[in-house]
Structure 1
Amino acid sequence: MKCRSHLLVVFLFCSPLLSKAQGISVPVSEKAKINFSGMLQTQFNYSLDDDIDIAGMHHAGDEHFSRNSFSVKRARLQLNATINDRINAVILVNFGDFTGNPQNKVLENAYIKYSINDYVNFQFGQFRPQFGQEDNYPVDFVRSIDYSNQYYLFGSNSWQSFQIGATYFGEIKNTDVPVKYYIGIFNGNNRNQVSDNDDGKIIPARIVVGLGKTTQLGASGGVGKNMGQKIWAYGADVDYKKQLNERWGIELVSEYKQGINSVAFFGQENLVIPVSEYAMRGIYVLPNVAYSIKNARLKSLEFAVRYEYLDSDFKQVGNSRQSYIPMISAAFAEAYAIRVQLGLLMDRYERNIPNTTQYNTNRIICQVQARF
């Protein structure tokens, strides 16, 4: 309890300073230092449909519900401790989870990284496995309002999002074709668990190949066991980024994944169908155009459109979902330190199911974020 109090005191003391810089470093010893940083995301959601609430839930009856609301999406604080030239530890918490059900949430990153050189690195604890392009950047750098629906679906099945385990990774630089590689082993029962719920583990692997200065090709694959059932997943992605001139830049991210939906399988009342008959797949395309502005206040304007197709159970009943998210954003400081985003979220389902979130929706989302 004393440690938590001391950490809170340090954070409150540092807050005025953090507003002037990206993080603050606190020396611990000759070689060790601690860096604090944070991020705050707030939103305003407005449903354009009279029978849809702000969460996308359809209401066929006369019950009261909210069609517009302000909310705190994320309130993160990160501590990065550099122990020496080879070891550092990271803790990331999201206080925004306290606004909902914080069970098995709040703590996001909690890991130790040991680096020998570019080729040999190890990471232990709770962190995001490398299984797609979206694992490479924090949410405050996402070119859309949020991560893709695919990311959250594969995260609930333990392939992405925050998991507990270990990974080995490295990078081959200084070649015409640079390569990054990752392989790990994880409990496979998601974050903030006291221990694994079975002896099964998941083993994800990923390789990323650079083609010139503009293009990266990624491939991911993994196998594992969940409560005695064999599971697997795989995916591929393309990231193209080019600065056209001093002001204009473009980026295109596209990703495809497919795998076993063990969450849907174990959600059955009677497990009579093989787990292999419960499969999920999805693809999204996200082009982004950025325009830099030489202004003391406004730094850049960006326009992005994410199209996504996702089916969480295409071998069974299924109900494919298509999402269209045009979005414009303005950055008022370098590296998105202050960013305002305005987007229109349009979901279209293969068939509407009344009184569920599987219903066509049209929602406006305004998001304001600050990084410090």
Structure 2
Amino acid sequence: MKQRYLYLLLFLPFLTNAQGINVALSEKSKINFSGMLQTQFNYSLDDDVDITGRHHTGTEHFSHNSFSVKRARLQLSAAINDRINAVMLVNFGDFIGNPQNKVLENAYIKYSVNDYVNFQFGQFRPQFGQEDNYPVDFVRSIDYSNQYYLFGSNSWQSFQIGASYFGEIKNSSIPLKYYIGVYNGNNRNQTGDNDDGKIVPARLVFGLGKSTFLGLSAGAGKNMGQKIWAYGADIDYKKQLNERWNVEFVSEYKQGINSVAYFDQTDPVIPVSHFAMRGIYLQPNVGYGFKNTRLKSLEFALRYEYLDADFKQNGNARQSYIPMVSASFAEAYAIRVQMGLLMDRYENNIPNTTQYNTNRIICQVQARF
């Protein structure tokens, strides 16, 4: 019994020092939690098309309408000191389907020296287009573009593992933001890279006056020994017309190698350079703000998109039209209700697939906290 007290007395100084360190860390670090919830109601207007956009010719049962939880995100942000930040973002909505290689979205450490010199390490979205600049809860349409997801599956956008350097030149006649990174190139939530190849995307954003921004993106790399590349350009125009009205116009073009389609070959005999993807989208948005009411703003948007995942061979071009209205009941889209009509038109309808003309109504309710 006396030995126990002796051990306690010997280790007591170390325990108190450890507690002091924890207290010091907690005093210096600032930890913030935030979250976002998106729920949807989907309704297919076509008798032979389900809520996912898949066509059916058989007699099997499928749903024409359904409620769903699209995203249930929780984010932790920690300001460790004046230069180092750490961020983790998970989407619990992925547990509803197949969570493999999903759920974890952001997981990175950012080291900032000044406006010109910043580094980021971990899993995050590379800067390769206008849509990488804002989280999905600020998207003016019902979701990111089809282009974003296609280029994301080819490792140029969406969440990737790697490192980046970025900065900004503000005090100039033409303000400039610049980004360059190195990534594994095999998408998110992987234990490691599956080959020695890496992808290197880069981006420049020029401020052309107070309202217009021009973005240029380009990248190259290797995937399982195959050379891949991509490039794009985008224009973002924003203007507050008066106290109530504002307008925004976004347009973006991208083209690159579709390495996913290349590796989908049973016996890859067609060169990877023959698998090319390209797309463009245009999206005007008009907003009207209210004062001293629970309804903060109304917005009207229309996105047109053209996308061909394999335009050099047997591509099946997809055109999408999405008129949408949204109402915000709190600042910064903290409470937002959206309703849109998703109309897809394919060059060739392929029965019993999602490459089929569809018309769907989507209602989305969003809460940020």
Q: Choose which of 245, 248, 253 in structure 2 pairs with 1:248.
A: 245
Task: Name the structure 2 match of 1:21.
Answer: none
8 Å contact 1:39–1:75 — kept in the other structure? yes
- Write the deviation string for residues 180-231 of structure 1: whole angstroms up to 9, x where unpaired: 0000000000000000000000000000000111000000000000000000
Give 1:295 shift: 3.2
Give 1:176 shift: 1.9
Give 1:311 shift: 0.0
Distance 2:223 2:26 in 1: 44
Distance 2:25 2:164 in 1: 27
8 Å contact 1:44–1:365 — kept in the other structure? yes
Q: Choose which of 362, 365, 368 in structure 2 pairs with 1:368.
A: 365
8 Å contact 1:220–1:235 — kept in the other structure? yes
Structure 1: stretches of 5+ with no match in the other structure: 1-26
Q: Which amino acid aligns with 1:73?
A: K
Distance 1:299 1:211 in 2: 30
Distance 2:51 2:292 in 1: 35
Distance 2:173 2:289 in 1: 30
- Write the deviation string for residues 60-91 of structure 1: whole angstroms up to 9, x where unpaired: 11100000000000000000000000000000
Q: Which amino acid aligns with 1:165?
A: G
Give 1:174 shift: 1.8
Task: Name the structure 1 match of 2:152.
Answer: 155
Q: Which amino acid aligns with 2:232?
A: G
Is 2:188 aligned against 1:184? Answer: no
Q: TM-score, normalised by structure 1?
A: 0.92
Distance 1:101 1:294 in 2: 44
Give 1:48 shift: 0.1
8 Å contact 1:217–1:238 — kept in the other structure? yes
Distance 1:190 1:90 in 2: 18
Name the Cα RMSD after superposition.
1.0
Aligned residues: 347
- Write the deviation string for residues 27-86 of structure 1: whole angstroms up to 9, x where unpaired: 953321100000000000000000000000000111000000000000000000000000
Distance 2:354 2:251 in 1: 26
Distance 2:26 2:72 in 1: 29
Q: Which amino acid aligns with 1:45?
A: N
Q: Which amino acid aligns with 1:61?
A: G
- Write the deviation string for residues 5-42 of structure 1: whole angstroms up to 9, x where unpaired: xxxxxxxxxxxxxxxxxxxxxx9533211000000000
Task: Name the structure 2 match of 1:102.
Answer: 99
Is 2:52 aligned against 1:44? Answer: no
Task: Name the structure 2 match of 1:34.
Answer: 31
Identical pairs, percent: 84
8 Å contact 1:28–1:34 — kept in the other structure? no
Q: Choose which of 273, 278, 281 in structure 2 pairs with 1:276.
A: 273
Local SS of the residue matching 1:195:
coil
Local SS of the residue matching 2:38:
strand
Q: Choose which of 73, 98, 112 in structure 2 pairs with 1:76.
A: 73
Q: Within 5 A, what are the aligned runs for 1:1-372?
A: 29-372=26-369
Local SS of the residue matching 1:70:
strand
Q: Which amino acid aligns with 2:53?
A: G
Structure 2: stretches of 5+ with no match in the other structure: 1-23
Task: Name the structure 2 match of 1:5.
Answer: none
Local SS of the residue matching 2:230:
strand
Give 1:358 shift: 0.1
Q: Which has the larger radius of gyration?
A: 2
Local SS of the residue matching 1:249:
strand
Distance 1:211 1:360 in 2: 39
Distance 2:41 2:246 in 1: 29
Distance 1:329 1:122 in 2: 36
Local SS of the residue matching 1:104:
coil
Distance 2:25 2:40 in 1: 37
Q: Which amino acid aligns with 1:89?
A: A
Q: Which amino acid aligns with 2:239?
A: K
